[in-house]
């Protein structure tokens, strides 16, 4: 009776006729099934979405998808509220198709997203960047890649290496290692990618935190305002400090630009300027954010070119 009612959607009257009992008997049986834990009902309350802000933000930046989440008032100042990951997981479940190659870059928001995944079509999952701290790989982006592959039933290609190396020679040597090289071979095949965005300040940009004081001052002098997957951008979305990429284990900016769908997950008022800068770069096609960041973005200077016009801006 429980199967007929909860799974097949039949009415109590239909069930009563099938089993030759009264509908009141059916009601008592269904109540007993709940009491004895034979049936469990789970109500999942989705994060509150702001449709008006979502549409306005998508139109302003020319994004393919923009999802704005109403964050709790006490979380407005915090970067990347965890509920962004839950919403991004739902969006990813709609964007990824069977046979796609899903790329995941390091970031707290992508880690939260992977943890919230409960459905994905069969696809290959590849890590797009090294990790912030190799000692935490199992709890960070490596685990995120494994989790996504487990949900999808596809192959996983993690990268067991730091994102930032001391010099270009060390980075080159690591890129040539078998496991890392195998992951890199999939970069040009990625069809959907998830990335995080960092502001150029302590605790909000992993690259900022990994550099020395002297290096931070150098890149700050170039006008860096944002970081994404170890690529630096000024306030106009131009790439700066390109030499840093030579020391990093990460997907190239040109490869990101060729990926059909790049979803950025970032929020919080403090990240507003950084999100604006990255959206102006043309590397991102879709955004999951919150109302605090969205309100900043809607008034952040002149309207930019469409994010889907993915030409390479000048940079130094």
- Sheet strands (E) in 128-169: 156-157
Top mean pLDDT of 67-81, 102-116, 186-200 is at: 186-200
The reply to whether 314 falls in a domain is no
* pLDDT given for residue 135 in this prediction: 44
Closest listed residue to residue 16, CA positions, set 7, 27, 6, 8: 27
For residue 195, what are the β-bridge partners? 264
Reported pTM: 0.79
Is the pLDDT at 313 greater than 60? The verdict is: no
Reported confidence tier of residue 43, pLDDT bands at 50, 70, 90: low
What is the span of the domain harbouring residue 230? 51-299
At 228-256, the pLDDT tens digits run 999 999 999 999 998 898 999 999 999 99
What's the average model confidence in pLDDT over 191-210?
87
Classify residue 250 as left (phi > 0), alpha (psi -120 to 50) or beta: beta
CATH number, domain containing residue 155: 3.40.50.1360
The reply to whether 313 falls in a domain is no
79-83, 213-217, 292-296: least confidently modelled range: 79-83
Angle at 251 between CA 90 and CA 234, to 5 degrees: 90
At 48-68, the pLDDT tens digits run 788 899 999 999 999 999 999
Same domain, 28 and 84: no
Reported confidence tier of residue 23, pLDDT bands at 50, 70, 90: confident
* pLDDT given for residue 137 in this prediction: 42
* pLDDT given for residue 291 in this prediction: 92
What's the average model confidence in pLDDT over 275-295?
94
Q: Is 238 helix (H, G, I), strand (E, B) or coil?
A: coil
Closest listed residue to residue 128, CA positions, set 289, 259, 272, 308: 259
Burial class (CB in 10 A: 0-12, 13-18, 19+), 154: buried
Same domain, 147 and 24: no
Give me the number of domains the chain comprises.
Answer: 2
Q: How far apart are CA 48 and CA 61, in angstroms?
A: 22
Is the pLDDT at 136 greater than 50? The verdict is: no
30-39, 111-120, 125-134, 186-195: least confidently modelled range: 125-134
Contacts of 125 (CB under 8 A, 6+ apart): 101, 102, 103, 104, 145, 148, 149, 152, 154, 155, 156, 157
The reply to whether 41 falls in a domain is no
Same domain, 190 and 228: yes
Is the pLDDT at 144 greater than 80? The verdict is: yes
Same domain, 194 and 237: yes
Q: How far apart are CA 207 and CA 198, in angstroms?
A: 9
Is the pLDDT at 80 greater than 80? The verdict is: no
Angle at 74 between CA 69 and CA 78, to 5 degrees: 70
Same domain, 144 and 14: no
Strand 231-234 with 261-265, pairing: unpaired
Reported confidence tier of residue 287, pLDDT bands at 50, 70, 90: very high
How high does pLDDT run on average in the chain?
Answer: 87
Q: How far apart are CA 215 and CA 227, in angstroms?
A: 14
Find the helix packing angle between 108-116 and 83-95, rounded to 10°: 60
Q: How far apart are CA 110 and CA 294, in angstroms?
A: 19
The reply to whether 307 falls in a domain is no
* pLDDT given for residue 200 in this prediction: 87
* pLDDT given for residue 168 in this prediction: 92
At 149-200, the pLDDT tens digits run 999 999 999 998 889 999 999 999 999 999 999 999 999 999 999 999 999 8
Contacts of 18 (CB under 8 A, 6+ apart): 4, 10
Same domain, 89 and 237: yes
Task: Compute CA distances 99 → 86, 152, 161, 190, 247, whole Å.
Answer: 23, 10, 27, 11, 32
Same domain, 126 and 180: yes
């Amino acid at each position: 009776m429980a199967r007929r009612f909860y799974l097949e959607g039949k009415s109590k009257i239909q069930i009563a006729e099938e089993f030759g009992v009264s509908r009141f008997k059916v009601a008592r049986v269904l109540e007993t099934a709940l009491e004895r834990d034979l049936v469990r009902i789970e109500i999942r309350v989705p994060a509150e979405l702001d449709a008006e802000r979502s549409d306005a933000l998508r139109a302003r930046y020319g994004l393919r998808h923009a999802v704005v989440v109403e964050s709790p008032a006490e979380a407005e100042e915090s970067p990347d509220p965890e509920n962004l990951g839950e919403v991004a997981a739902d969006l990813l479940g709609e964007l990824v198709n069977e046979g796609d190659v899903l790329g995941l870059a390091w970031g707290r928001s992508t880690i939260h997203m992977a943890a919230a995944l409960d459905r994905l079509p069969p696809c290959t999952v590849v890590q797009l960047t090294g990790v912030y701290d190799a000692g935490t790989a199992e709890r960070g982006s490596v685990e995120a890649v494994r989790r996504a592959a487990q949900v999808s039933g596809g192959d996983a290609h993690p990268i067991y290496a730091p994102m930032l190396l001391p010099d270009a020679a060390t980075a080159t040597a690591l890129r040539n290692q078998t496991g890392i090289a195998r992951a890199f071979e999939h970069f040009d095949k990625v069809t959907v990618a998830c990335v995080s965005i960092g502001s150029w300040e302590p605790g909000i940009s992993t690259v900022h935190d990994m550099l020395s004081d002297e290096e931070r001052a150098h890149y700050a002098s170039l006008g860096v305002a944002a970081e994404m997957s170890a690529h630096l951008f000024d306030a106009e979305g131009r790439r700066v400090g390109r030499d840093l990429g030579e020391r990093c284990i990460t997907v190239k900016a040109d490869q990101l630009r060729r990926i059909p769908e790049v979803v950025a997950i970032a929020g919080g008022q403090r990240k507003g300027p950084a999100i604006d800068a990255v959206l102006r770069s043309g590397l991102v096609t879709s955004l999951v954010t919150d109302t605090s960041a969205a309100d900043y973005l809607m008034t952040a200077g002149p309207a930019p070119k469409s994010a889907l016009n993915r030409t390479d801006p000048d940079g130094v």
